[in-house]
Structure formats: C-alpha cells, structure tokens
Amino acid sequence: MSPIFGYVLMLVSLLHLWLQGVNRHYLHLPQGPQKGPLMLGWFACSFLLPSLLIALFREWPPVAEALSFAPYSFPSMIIFSATLALHAFTVVRCGMWMGKRARLRNSSHVQSEEVTIPRLENRVTKLPGVFAALDTTTALEVIRRDIVVPDFPPEFDSLTIAQVSDLHFDPRSGLVDYLEEVVEITNALRPDIVVFTGDFVNAARHIRRSVSLHERFHARLGKFAVLGNHDYWTRPERVKEALGRTDIVYLGGSRRTFSRGGRNLVLAGTDHPWSGCEDDWRVLLRKGSADCVILISHAPEVAPIAARHGANLVLSGHCHGGQVCLPIVGPIIVPSKLGHRFTSGVYDVTPDCLLNVSRGIGVSTGGFRLHCPPEVTLLRLRASFCEATVGAVRPARARLVSLRSAELPA
C-alpha cells in the first residue's frame, strides 16, 4: 500500500480530532483573550506536530512500515496500532456524528412556520468564484413561527416576540447597510416584544454605534437584552452602560413580569456562562405567581439547566447555525459544549420546556456565511388551547411553509 495513502488517512484523522477538540474545548472558553494561544497550542499538538514528525521521520523504517501498513518491528507495530486506533476513532466518531444529526428533529410544538426571503438592496457576497453560489452572508430569512408553549396562559395567546441575535456590529465588515435594512424589516413585523440575545459587537470601539443601531428596533411592550461572549470579551460594562442610556432593558440576572387578566408571564435573562458568576436559578426562574417563564440566554447550553428549574421557553443564539455548512451534511463546527444537539430551530428540551435557537444576523470568525443564511425570527406564542366564545379552540396541525417571495407577507 502506498505511503501516500497512509499520510492522507493520518492527516484526515488528525484533522477530525482537531475539529472535535475545537468544538468541545476551545470555542466555549469564557476567557476570550486566552483563545489565541490555546487555539495555537491545541492545533500544534493535535495536527501540525504529529504531521511534522511523520514528515521528518518518514524514511525511518518503523514509520515507513507503519505508513505502508506492513509493520515488521516492535516500534512499527506501536505506530501501526496507534494509526489504526486513530482511524477507528475517526470512523466511529463520524458515524456517531452523522447518526445524531440524522435523528435530530425540531419540536413537535411548532404549529406553523413560514420562511420569507425579502429583497435586499445591500446584498454582500464575500466569497469568490464558484463559492459565491453558496455564500449566504446576507441572504436573510424572515421566519414566522407559531409555537405552542407549555403552561402559556391563554390571556397572552398570540403574543409575538421578535428574536434578534448576534449582529456582531463592525463597520469594517461592509455589512452596516445590510444591518440597517434588517432593522426596517424587523420593525415591519410589528412585534409585541423584541429580545436581543447577545453579541452586540466584536470590538469595544464600536459599542456606541452598535447600541444605537439596536435602539432603532421597535416593540409595543418593550425591548430586552442579554450579553454574549463577544460582548464579555470586549468591554461588558461599557455595553451595559450604553444600553442603560436607551429604552432597551438589560435583563442579565434579572426578570420582568407582564400581567394580563389576572395571569402573569415572566421574562428573565442570563449572561451565563460568560459573566463568570453562577446565577441563582431557583430565584431567577421561580414560578411563584407566574404561569409561564421565558428565559433569554445567549448560549443554548443553559437550556437543560433552565428546564430543570421551571423555564417553559428559552431563546438563544450564539451558534450561528454553524455559520459554515455543507450541503446535506450541515454544519461542521458548532461552538457549543453540546455539539450539534442545539444548532438552530425549535427543540424539546423536556416535555415542559422548549428552546428556540436563532442562526443570528451577523457573522463572526471568518467574516462570511456558507450555506447557512442569517435569520430574523418572529415567534407567535400560543397557549395549548385558546379561550373562545364557545368551548376551547385547539391549534391547527403543524404546517411548514417555505416562501420564496420578494415581499414580506402582510
């Protein structure tokens, strides 16, 4: 067998291990300034260093025998066994990865979903040549999603929440005009509430302009926000101060109660795990006199904790839907400790708790989206039944509609 084949298998295996390491350990670190050195160290130890050693010692008989899968000495048998173990790990891990992705299903609580692609004047393509066809950096989708929320009070039935996430405002990206169009499109939806689920900026010098842009969103009952990892990796106190000078309510570690017809709806927020301090979940998510608790959190990893403490709906972003996806295969890397478990869409965390993960609007590392369009989500929250004049009206069966129109539906 050709040694080149052995080289290729070894490189693919080590690359796969590196991707898994990045997904599980590197991208979820709360300490942003440490990311560069740790990234470099992990990459060198798991990919570059072994490849370099193999290249330098390829003429050494044990390495040459191992790469040709014909070990004749004890050292070559050790290298051969390690190589086979690495390949076996790759096959098993990839099989598990594809199996989990095949079993992923969106929540059965989704009553209907309509996807509209508005005509944008400021489309930006950042990839050259043949890759431009898969460039979805500004291929915005407006998603209108009706979901039946457990314990949602009928008095609040049809409450609408626009979820805006991960703008990553940066004038150097060339996306400012596009982001301004996103504001206009979202305001045209006329939501009752707008929630911002983190990552306002990538650099501290852009905080003022980013918050000013977010302030232009409109909502009948108020605008609420939490911070994301990029906000904490810049100047979180300055972001909070800037929000405090606007009508956007910062909800990190706090909650607001809405009352209607004697029923209460709680909207809570958390910056966990980026804030570096653990929230008192029993206090933050306590039901008390509330009928339903909605939590906004940048990281979807919070959802299992929130579900255990009584949250009925969690709204998150952070994952960008993977940002770089392959046709059929989907996202390669998802920046989450939970891997591909919560990438985008609606998930049943428990029978009594739902999670909506937004793909976000802006871009982070790399500066472009590949086969993964950004989204603005308008959630219409439905009770398990609606009180009508006669009897109880149950929601219709789920219907999923994909619209490819130039104008938003009225």
The CATH number that applies at residue 376 is: 3.60.21.10
162 plus 292 within the same structural domain: yes
Classify residue 140: in a domain, yes or no: yes
Closest to 266 in 3D by CA, of 186, 191, 156, 190:
156
Looking at residue 177, its pLDDT comes to 93
pTM above 0.85, yes or no: no
Q: Are 87 and 126 members of one domain?
A: no
In a domain, 408, yes or no: no
Same domain for 349 and 333: yes
Which pLDDT score, from 0 to 100, does residue 194 have? 98
258 and 337 share one domain: yes
**Residue 38: how many other CB atoms lie within 10 Å:** 13
Residue 144, in any domain of the structure: yes
Domain annotation covers residue 407: no
Domain boundary (103, 127, 156) is at 103
Residue 295, strand partner residues: 268, 314
- The reported pLDDT for the residue numbered 309 is 93
Q: Is residue 223 part of a domain?
A: yes
Same domain, 99 and 115: no
pLDDT of residue 50: 77
315 and 223 part of one domain: yes
Burial of 15 (0-12, 13-18, 19+ CB in 10 A): middle
Strand partners, 263: 260
Tell me 299's DSSP state: -
Question: What pLDDT, on the 0 to 100 scale, is given for residue 125?
Answer: 80
Kindly state whether residues 68 and 190 are assigned to the same domain.
no
Q: What is the pLDDT of residue 353?
A: 94
- The torsion region of residue 84 among left (phi > 0), alpha (psi -120 to 50) and beta comes to alpha
Do 14 and 145 fall into the same domain?
no
Distances (CA, A) of 366 to 88, 112, 190, 246: 31, 33, 33, 31
User: What does DSSP say about strands 248-250 and 222-226: parallel, antiparallel, or unpaired?
Assistant: parallel
Distance CA 119, CA 184 (A): 12
- Of 70, 103, 136, the residue at which a domain comes to its end is 103
> Are residues 146 and 257 located together in one domain of the fold?
yes
Q: Same domain, yes or no, for 51 and 183? A: no
Q: Which domain holds residue 12?
A: 3-103
Q: Which of 174, 179, 220 is nearest to 199 (CA)?
A: 179
Mean pLDDT, the chain cut into blocks of 10 residues (410 residues total): 72 70 53 59 72 84 85 88 78 72 72 91 78 86 95 94 96 90 96 96 93 96 95 93 96 94 94 83 88 95 93 95 82 78 90 95 85 95 62 39 40
Helices (H) and strands (E) in the chain, counts: 11, 18
Identify whether residues 8 and 149 lie together within a single domain: no
Total structural domains in the chain?
2
CB-based contact 173:367 (threshold 8 Å): yes
Is 238 part of a structural domain of the chain?
yes
Which of 60, 80, 103 is a domain's end point? 103
User: Does a structural domain hold residue 149?
Assistant: yes
39 and 145 part of one domain: no
User: Residue 409: inside a domain, yes or no?
Assistant: no
